Amino acid sequence: MKEQASIAEIKKEELVDLVNSLSFEDQEKITFNGSRYLLWLFTEEDMNTGDEHEKVFYSASTADRGCWDIYMLENLSDAEKKRSMFHEILECNLKDRGFDESLTHELALKAEEEVFGQR
């Protein structure tokens, strides 16, 4: 089954070590498994548009081609930051590696729950 083979290719331990080493500072540069990321911290006021917003999300960087911007609410607990970064970094890396976009979130979620437990 393709999904099971895909899970086996995920470098979970390496990613856990990376996430544990992060300082979670604004504009922190991160590299994992050939993918590059830039962390952007924001406050609730920064994103308060009256609509619900995500606490952590990513987008292709507009400032650095081939890089992912990860946006994170700055007042998350350390545990939430680590869990969220694990998921976002992995999801983007799977996209960079050519995994089907419809599977990347599910694969990242499965790996995240294997490491951190059920949400």
| CB 14 within 8 Å of CB 33 | yes
Which pTM value belongs to this model?
0.88
pLDDT of residue 63: 78
pLDDT value at 54 more than 90: no
Taking only the tens place, the pLDDT of each residue in 58-77 is 999 877 889 999 999 999 99
CA gap 68, 62 in Å, rounded: 9
For β-strands 56-60 and 67-73, DSSP reports them as antiparallel
- For the chain, list the domains and their CATH numbers: 2-116 (1.10.10)
